[in-house]
Amino acid sequence: MTSVIIDCDPGHDDALAILLAAKHLDVLGITTVSGNESIDNVTSNALKIVEFGNLTDIPVIRGAEGPLFRDAVYASHVHGKSGMDGAEIPEPTTKLQEGHAVDFIIDTAMSTSDLVLLPMGPLTNIALALRKEPKLRDRIKLMSIMGGSSTSGNYTAAAEFNIYVDAEAADIVFRSEIPILMSGLNLTRQVLAKQEHIDEIREINNSTAQVIADLLTFYLGTSTRHSHDGAAMHDPCAVAAMIDPTMIEFEPMHVVVETTGTHTYGMTLCDVRPGSVKSKPANMEVAVTIDSDRFFKLLIDTLRMY
């Protein structure tokens, strides 16, 4: 089973990603990063997820308080004030694992063969780990990232939220030469949870599925209020790429992160030109299509396992 660390900012879609990963991958730890909400809130939400998912054997480790250089921005308009509104979840009693997420990532990578990172929030922790321990470049097998877009953004017209929050960190990660699978908005907008999916999850007779049905109802509400046709399954796509990559089509591309643009800060510029003589060698595999039916079958079948 593939050993992974999930670096996240729960986040409704982060919650689904954690539950999906926990039943198919060897999750060595969940590290948190300021993103959808403050580090306090997303860390509390991560503890709530391991509790309502009966996953308290997976350690949760608190990470970066904010981006490398810029002030934190949050996505409360999507995920609510707590960062994971919509369900009655008790305050967690599970204790955090001592230490900082960056050191957990470094220590685990140095002691684990073929470690895969699943970053699904701003890339602050990952960038700090790469800078603190350059040997990680040869220790981390792969990063399956939810972030960026080969088309339009969401936080701005140009930039996807995870990259926008800390584009400097994303630039460090994208230039690390570690193999990357990038699940950007161009892909994740192809998997939209709708009421019929929530209804099917509601029919599952376990408490974890009931909490997810409540959370997805909230997330669908904020998504449709922002004129989306459904609740995008952003973060679970990065996990599905590790569980069953045959449901996703990837294309090798050279991708750079804009860190100085006035209007384009945080943009992931994907070189989609067919075989252009001017394009640089691909530095990652960009997900371009996904079989949505197979994705939702995997997700819902996994929720039945709780």
Residues that are catalytic: 234
What one-character-per-residue DSSP string does 196-251 give?
Answer: HHHHHHHTS-SHHHHHHHHHHHHHHHHHHHTT-SSEE-HHHHHHHHHH-GGGEEEE
The residues with which 148 forms a beta bridge, in sequence order, are none
In this structure, what DSSP letter does residue 94 have? P
Residue type, 146: M
How far separated are the first and last CA of the chain, in Å rounded?
Answer: 19
Residue type, 93: T
Give least dist CB 161 to Ca ion, A. 8
**Residue 160 interacts with ligand RIB (CB under 6 A)?**
yes
- Which region, judged by CB under 6 A, interacts with ligand RIB, from 160-168, 175-183, 209-217, 241-249? 160-168
Subset of residues 209 to 238 that bind ligand RIB, contact rule: CB under 6 A: 234-235
Among 30, 109, 118, 120, binds Ca ion (CB under 5 A): 120
CB of 67 or CB of 121, closer to Ca ion: 121
* Phi/psi of residue 93, nearest 5 degrees: -110, -10
**Residue 146 interacts with ligand RIB (CB under 6 A)?**
yes
Among 4, 6, 11, 116, binds ligand RIB (CB under 6 A): 11
**Residue 9 interacts with ligand RIB (CB under 6 A)?**
yes
- Which region, judged by CB under 6 A, interacts with ligand RIB, from 9-17, 22-30, 168-176, 293-301? 9-17
245 token code pair: 């990559």
- Cα–Cα distance between 97 and 31 in angstroms, integer? 10
CB 17 within 8 A of CB 119: no
Burial (CB count <10 Å: 0-12, 13-18, 19+), residue 98: exposed
Q: x/- binding map, residues 34-73, to ligand RIB, per CB under 6 A?
A: -xx-------------------------------------
Give least dist CB 243 to ligand RIB, A. 18
Helix (H) or strand (E) holding 27: strand 26-32
Among 13, 37, 214, 285, binds ligand RIB (CB under 6 A): 13
Q: Measured in whole angstroms, how far is the alpha carbon of residue 272 from the centre of its chain?
A: 23
**Residue 154 interacts with ligand RIB (CB under 6 A)?**
yes
* Total interface residues for Ca ion by CB under 5 A: 6
- Cα–Cα distance between 76 and 82 in angstroms, integer? 8
Tell me which residues touch Ca ion (CB under 5 A): 9, 11, 14, 120-121, 235
Q: Which residues bind ligand RIB (CB under 6 A)?
A: 9, 11, 13-14, 35-36, 75, 120-121, 146, 154, 160-162, 234-235
